[in-house]
């Protein structure tokens, strides 16, 4: 099973400690093959995808964020 290390900082760094704990309690583990199976179809190219970037966003690495930013034309 896959879990996120330090979800408070990665996903909820702009929330209060109480809100962080509430949201962390709602996270579920993911099966490993969803993270390790090679991607053979880019569904995001055929289905609408939205990702809201925030000032303190830590969920995506800088390289990934910059690549998305350039593709968006923003």
pLDDT digits (tens, 9 = 90+) for 1-52: 678 888 998 888 889 999 999 999 999 888 888 778 888 887 777 887 776 7
Q: 31, 59 in Cβ contact below 8 A?
A: no
Residue 59 lies in a domain: yes
Residue 1 lies in a domain: no
Res 72: pLDDT: 64
**What beta strand segments (E) does the chain contain?**
none
Residue 15 lies in a domain: yes
Residue 2 lies in a domain: no
Residue 35 lies in a domain: yes
**Structural domain of residue 45, as residue ranges?**
7-72
Q: How many domains does the chain have?
A: 1
- What is this structure's pTM? 0.56
Residue 23 lies in a domain: yes
């Amino acid at each position: 099973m896959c879990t996120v290390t330090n979800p408070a900082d990665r996903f909820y760094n702009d929330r209060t400690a109480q809100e962080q704990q509430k949201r962390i309690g709602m996270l579920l583990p993911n099966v490993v093959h969803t993270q390790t199976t090679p991607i053979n179809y880019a569904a995001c190219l055929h289905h609408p995808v939205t990702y809201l970037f925030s000032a303190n966003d830590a969920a995506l690495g800088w390289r990934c964020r910059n690549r998305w930013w350039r593709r968006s034309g923003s």
